Amino acid sequence: MHDVTRDFLVSIAAFATAFGIIYIIVITRYRERMSMLEKGIDPSAFGKSKAMDTKTLKAGMVSIGIAMGLLMGNLLYNHDILDRVVSYFSMVFLFGGISLIANFLIEQKLKR
């Protein structure tokens, strides 16, 4: 099989998979809301909570932690302190974990 044909088929399969997953999520949500309406339950009661949404804070902090981990891993590798694989993986997990712990502490402080 030619490379172009293989790449085309893989792209189509990936798109179809993503479309199928999104379609199933939307249809399931629609059916759930319709069944709630049939039973007399207000579907807006199960919508977004009024509590502060901190998902973007967590995503931002993890992204910054991973970026700092990559920079520190590169620094350790360039100065021949650690091996390449060890420096990158250890620093990404270390700084990613630190950012998640910091996010937890910030969320606890915001809840008070």
pLDDT of residue 48: 61
Cα–Cα distance, 61 to 99 (Å, whole number): 6
Low-confidence residues of the chain: pLDDT under 70: 1, 45-52
pLDDT of residue 40: 85
41 and 69 both lie in a single domain:
no
pLDDT of residue 88: 93
31 and 54 both lie in a single domain:
no
Cα–Cα distance, 69 to 11 (Å, whole number): 32
Domain that holds residue 102: 50-111
pTM here?
0.56
Kindly report, residue by residue over 11-35, the tens digit of the pLDDT: 999 999 999 999 999 999 899 888 8
Could you give the number of structural domains in the chain? 2
Q: What's at 75, amino acid-wise?
A: L
